[in-house]
Amino acid sequence: MKSINILRSTAALTLSGILAKTIDFVFRAYYSQRLGSEGLGIFSLVFSVHSIMLNIATGGLGVAVSKIVSEQYAARHTGDIRKTMRIALFAVLILSLAVIGVTFIFSQQISVYFLKEPRCRTSIVYLSPSILFMGISYCIKGYFYASRKIFFPASSEFLEQAVKITVIRFLLNKMLPSGIEHGCEAVFLGISIGELSSCLYLTVVYLWDCRNLTGIPTERRIIPAIFKVSLPVMTTSIAGSFLRMQEEVLTVSALRQSGLTQAAALSQYGNIYGMIIPLIVFPLTLLSSCFTLLVPEISRANTMKCTVRLKTLVGRIYRFAAFFGFLIAAILFSFADNLSVLVYRNFEIASPLRAICILTPVMFMDTVSCRILNGIGKQGALLFYSISDSVIRIILILALIPKHGINALIAVIFVSNIFTAAKTVRKVTKETKLHFELSGWLFRHITSAAVTCFVAGCFFTTLSPSANTTPVVCAILFSAVLYFTTGYAISPTSREDFSWLVRRMFFNA
């Protein structure tokens, strides 16, 4: 009964997260249309700095709170729970205020010398208060996750989205006419206000919930325990964020060296990382969230040394990853023109979208491989692969993009994703002693995707890029049904795998 309750709680949290991400993506598409590709380039640069500052301020404290409070709940040490939360929240407060202060003081230098874009200055200032609000929210969410009261963190996401959407729409109408940079400032100010609303809500419900946490603290080594968990997470996150920021700044600089103006370089960068990559990653994020439900089972099979069980789980997950990865690739490839206009009103991204979407199965295999490696405790390998990938990307950016421009950037994306997927999949197959299934993971689904693209190309060539939403959605649904039908006809095991997935996710059978 306890395992069923945990599974249902995880399923509810996953489904609420999927809904929140869907709302966020739809609204992101809205303000992407308003800001344009150049605005999204500025948007991405500011967020690269924000990511570093946030990781310094939070320092993995949310992860530490969730882990330590879970252990304290199991031991019924309620006094220690209150003490842990006080320490974590105080640490977040001090770190966040210090980071915000530094950001305010040096915002000019950060925008000019690090980002090479002076228009980022005010946006950085407007976004920096969200660091404090997000840090507090992470800790409180960790507390609620540990106590399995998922309603509060789930509902806070919807409150945040509602406030953010309302405020950003209002501010964009007021500020965007003054220029693109002011439109970006409106979005970042709206994000900070949305995070504030979520933080206030979580703080109130936490104070109400912790009234029953009575008792005298018995553990004296809470601070070392918190830092033992949080410091490795913080180090990894900061290193990754710093390398990503370097990639983004160097990419824009390299595009400028290829002969583009600053505005054109930002526009090209915004097209790729502000529009195309989010459009590809969005369905993968939703699908990979579903597989989060299977991570505890993978961890359990690995801990209990159930080799056969572990191989069966991992093999099925890879078959699902290939199945859905090729489905999404087929749809994006077939309807790149329509989706570019429908989602972003930007036909310019259709050709690069059609090129990059070929990587969708590779991206999905890499995503699920990372989740599997986390489940079997191989975080060190993931850190090494991530740093290696960033170094390779930086070298290729400096060597290729100044000479070959945007085509070289697409090539860098291909090399990077294939490299990381090859390393993570190989590591999983080695650790689980699983053989790579060319038929089950690739050939069957390539055939289904090819049939889908061929039929879509024959029947929907008259569908203009500016077609209304309804005919495009109907055409996509028809293509998806065709892909599923072809996949089922080619592979009888697909039916068994889907039946098994539904039972495991929703019925614990």
pLDDT digits (tens, 9 = 90+) for 68-77: 777 777 667 7
Amino acid at 51: S
d(CA 10, CA 25) in angstroms, rounded, equals: 22
Compare 358 and 145 and report the one with higher pLDDT: 358
| The model scores a pTM over 0.95 | no
Q: What would the two tokens of residue 202 be?
A: 């979580």
The pLDDT value recorded for residue 220 is 66
pLDDT bracket for residue 215 (50, 70, 90): low
Q: Provide the CA 246 distance to its chain's centre, in angstroms.
A: 19
d(CA 400, CA 332) in angstroms, rounded, equals: 27
d(CA 304, CA 307) in angstroms, rounded, equals: 9
Amino acid at 224: P
Provide, rounded to the nearest whole percent, the portion of the chain with pLDDT above 70: 86
Cβ atoms 319, 441 nearer than 8 A:
yes
Maximum distance among all Cα pairs of the chain, rounded to whole angstroms: 73
pLDDT bracket for residue 440 (50, 70, 90): low
The pLDDT value recorded for residue 491 is 66
Residue 216 has pLDDT above 70, yes or no: no
pLDDT bracket for residue 507 (50, 70, 90): low
Cβ atoms 192, 203 nearer than 8 A:
no
Amino acid at 19: L
Q: Read off the pLDDT of residues 336-364 as tens digits, 9 standing for 90 and up.
A: 988 998 899 888 999 999 999 999 999 99
What is the pLDDT averaged over residues 272-298? 79
Compare 287 and 143 and report the one with higher pLDDT: 143
Residue 196 has pLDDT above 90, yes or no: yes
The pLDDT value recorded for residue 434 is 80
Q: Read off the pLDDT of residues 414-431 as tens digits, 9 standing for 90 and up.
A: 999 999 999 999 998 888
pLDDT bracket for residue 6 (50, 70, 90): low
Q: Provide the CA 216 distance to its chain's centre, in angstroms.
A: 40
Q: Read off the pLDDT of residues 447-492 as tens digits, 9 standing for 90 and up.
A: 888 888 888 877 776 666 666 778 888 889 999 899 888 877 776 5
Cβ atoms 487, 440 nearer than 8 A:
no
Q: What would the 3-class secondary structure string for 50-111 be?
A: HHHHHHHHHCCHHHHHHHHHHHHHHCCCHHHHHHHHHHHHHHHHHHHHHHHHHHHHCHHHHH
Cβ neighbours of residue 179 under 8 Å, at least 6 residues apart?
Answer: none
Among 135-139, 167-171, 290-294, which stretch is predicted with the lowest mean pLDDT? 290-294
The pLDDT value recorded for residue 504 is 58
Q: Read off the pLDDT of residues 375-413 as tens digits, 9 standing for 90 and up.
A: 777 777 888 888 899 999 999 999 999 999 999 999 999
The pLDDT value recorded for residue 454 is 86
d(CA 326, CA 361) in angstroms, rounded, equals: 5
Residue 503 has pLDDT above 70, yes or no: no
Query: Would you report the helix, strand and coil content of the chain in percent, each value rounded to 5?
Result: 90, 0, 10
Among 4-8, 122-126, 150-154, 299-303, which stretch is predicted with the lowest mean pLDDT? 4-8
CA angle 407, 411, 413 (to 5 degrees): 115
The pLDDT value recorded for residue 230 is 76
Cβ atoms 127, 43 nearer than 8 A:
no
Cβ neighbours of residue 119 under 8 Å, at least 6 residues apart?
Answer: 42, 111, 180, 181, 184
Residue 288 has pLDDT above 80, yes or no: no
The pLDDT value recorded for residue 5 is 53
Residue 493 has pLDDT above 60, yes or no: no
Q: Read off the pLDDT of residues 12-33 as tens digits, 9 standing for 90 and up.
A: 666 777 788 888 888 888 988 8
Cβ neighbours of residue 305 under 8 Å, at least 6 residues apart?
Answer: none
Residue 169 has pLDDT above 90, yes or no: yes
Compare 241 and 508 and report the one with higher pLDDT: 241
Q: Compute the CA torsion angle 269, 271, 276, 278 (nearest 10 deg).
A: 70
Q: What would the two tokens of residue 217 be?
A: 């603290």
For the chain, the C-alpha Rg in angstroms (whole number) is 23
For all residues of the chain together, what is the average pLDDT?
84
Residue with tokens 């795998």: 497
Helix intervals (H) in 220-304: 222-257, 262-269, 277-291, 295-303
d(CA 413, CA 418) in angstroms, rounded, equals: 9
The pLDDT value recorded for residue 295 is 65
pLDDT bracket for residue 105 (50, 70, 90): very high
The pLDDT value recorded for residue 120 is 93
**Residues across the chain:** 509
Q: Choose among 350, 303, 335: nearest CA to 483.
A: 335
Q: What b/e string do you get for 366-380 counting C-beta neighbours within 10 Å, with b at 16 or more?
A: bbbbbbbbebbebee
What is the pLDDT averaged over residues 434-441? 69
Other CB atoms within 10 Å distance of the CB of residue 275: 25
The pLDDT value recorded for residue 1 is 46
d(CA 186, CA 328) in angstroms, rounded, equals: 33
Amino acid at 406: I
Among 84-88, 281-285, 500-504, which stretch is predicted with the lowest mean pLDDT? 500-504
